[in-house]
Amino acid sequence: MTIAKNIEVSCTSKLSFEDAIQKAITKICKTVNNVQGAWIKEQKVSIENGNIAQYHVIMIVSFVLGGDDNIA
């Protein structure tokens, strides 16, 4: 049996949503093992003087917990 855990992560970027997502995934993969996928829960932008100042994402990241695959 496989056991997975989900964590909520947020990240910002001045470039794009894609950059914010990639930055978050890169950081998560450095600190959490067995990352399997992510779901983008929310996207929003900060506006300053009529322009986008920051892209903000909130995501749910799934990872598989280590251990014995034969757990009943």
Tens of pLDDT, residue by residue over 55-64, are 999 999 999 9
Burial of residue 55 (CB within 10 Å: 0-12, 13-18, 19+) is buried
Distinct helix (H) and strand (E) counts, the chain: 1, 3
Mean pLDDT of the chain: 91
| Cβ atoms < 10 Å from Cβ of 61 | 19
Task: Specify the pLDDT at position 2.
Answer: 84
Task: Specify the pLDDT at position 69.
Answer: 52
The whole-number average pLDDT for the span 15-24 is 97
**For residue 66, is pLDDT > 90?**
no
One-letter identity of residue 23: K
Task: Specify the pLDDT at position 70.
Answer: 44
DSSP 14: S
In sequence order, the β-bridge partners of residue 48 are 51
- Contact between 1 and 71 under an 8 Å Cβ cutoff? The reply is yes
